[in-house]
Amino acid sequence: MALQPVRVNAQEIITAATYNSLQARIETILGTGISRLGYGQAVESSQISTSDIVTASDIRKLKIDINKIRVHQTGSNSNLDDVDPKDLIGANDIDGNTDKGFNAYLSIIDTCEGDVYEIDETQYTIETATTSVRYTAWNGTPVHSFTITFDDADHRRAFFNAGGEIHISAELVTDNSLKGTDWATMLSAMGTIKFKRDTSAKTGAQGSVQPVGNYDLTSSYQTIFERSGGAPEYAENLYKITAKELSQKAIQFKIQFLDLDEGDQQGVGSPEDEQVVGMLESTIKQLRPTGSAVSINSPSYSTQTDLSSG
């Protein structure tokens, strides 16, 4: 985390250095930040000269920035009260009001840092980013690969630091064969795979998800999720999500539907490797911060391989 200034004691002067230390902590969360910190938003407050006196205007700007952070994290403003130009800013209170004291600002920024990766449900939108559909029969390996491109490295950092996620799901419908039913169950039981800042998660009960997130990616594909077939005769089949970093501003995902079943005895004759029919769909959504205080522009999505190929 950023600097941790000491509390101000009664009768002490609130120095420019103390103010600047607090302001830097706020800017690290709300502004461009560094590494895994920074929502990428405009910051109202700024550093002051070491010879400057901390004014009510300076404190009010801090409050504006703190409220932006708290609205993003909790959906509500902080409990801080406005400081008037006539107020004599105290360490713990102003005329008995503890929500105006400078130490109240120090306390609330402690909380902001503790909740830095929280995002309130009112402050984001889940929206479809791209899809891929196949209608023709298959028993090989349909692939859906796509690239997410951000404006630059800071845009990518801000998206994930502010709580952005990539959601991946798939379904197979209208195939009532034994193999089709098994594939449909595979895909529905895994739920949605959520690719996050520094890990991934799943909403379903089945499948194996790896703790790989945005900041773990390298130039080589890493496995995010795998789900095998359920029925013994289709256990070889595999749904697999991998991802890699193309550049500081681009991520590529590859989703494979590996129908590796080589066929099983169906009565008399040679083993039969059935075709999978019906509609196969891969859906990509994004959870994007879109609140009144913190809003991140959408990255762009491009498809490299569509499920209909091959």
For 194-231, b/e burial (b = at least 16 CB within 10 A) is: bbbbebbebeeeebebeebbbebbeeeeeebbbbbbee
Distance, CA of 157 to CA of 220 (rounded, Å): 20
- Same domain, yes or no: 88 and 229: no
Distance between start and end Cα atoms, the chain: 50
Task: Look at the chain and report how many structural domains it folds into.
Answer: 2
- Same domain, yes or no: 59 and 195: no
Judge whether 10 lies within some domain. no
pLDDT of amino acid 57: 87
Judge whether 5 lies within some domain. no
- Same domain, yes or no: 196 and 263: yes
- Same domain, yes or no: 102 and 219: no
Domain final residue pick, 114, 147, 167: 114
- Same domain, yes or no: 279 and 146: yes
pTM exceeds cut of 0.75? yes
Helix (H) or strand (E) holding 285: strand 279-289
pLDDT of amino acid 88: 52
From residue 136, how far is each of 83, 100, 130, 276, 281 by CA, in Å? 67, 66, 20, 9, 12
Three-class SS state of 63: helix
pLDDT of amino acid 267: 59
Domain final residue pick, 114, 145, 179: 114
- Same domain, yes or no: 30 and 179: no
- Same domain, yes or no: 179 and 231: yes
- Same domain, yes or no: 103 and 173: no
- Same domain, yes or no: 87 and 213: no
pLDDT of amino acid 270: 65
Judge whether 22 lies within some domain. yes
Judge whether 310 lies within some domain. no
Judge whether 149 lies within some domain. yes
From residue 154, how far is each of 126, 249, 294 by CA, in Å? 21, 8, 15
pLDDT of amino acid 6: 40
Judge whether 126 lies within some domain. yes
* Rounded CA Rg of the chain: 26
- Can you give the residue range of the structural domain that contains 155? 121-305
Judge whether 277 lies within some domain. yes
pLDDT of amino acid 266: 58
pLDDT of amino acid 14: 75
- Same domain, yes or no: 109 and 215: no
Beta-carbon neighbour count of residue 182 at 10 Å? 22
- Same domain, yes or no: 132 and 243: yes
Domain final residue pick, 114, 132, 165: 114
Could you state, in chain order, the average pLDDT of each consecutive group of 10 residues for the chain (310 residues)?
41 76 96 96 96 86 96 96 61 48 85 97 98 95 98 98 98 94 96 98 97 98 97 94 98 97 64 88 98 98 94
- Same domain, yes or no: 76 and 167: no
Judge whether 64 lies within some domain. yes
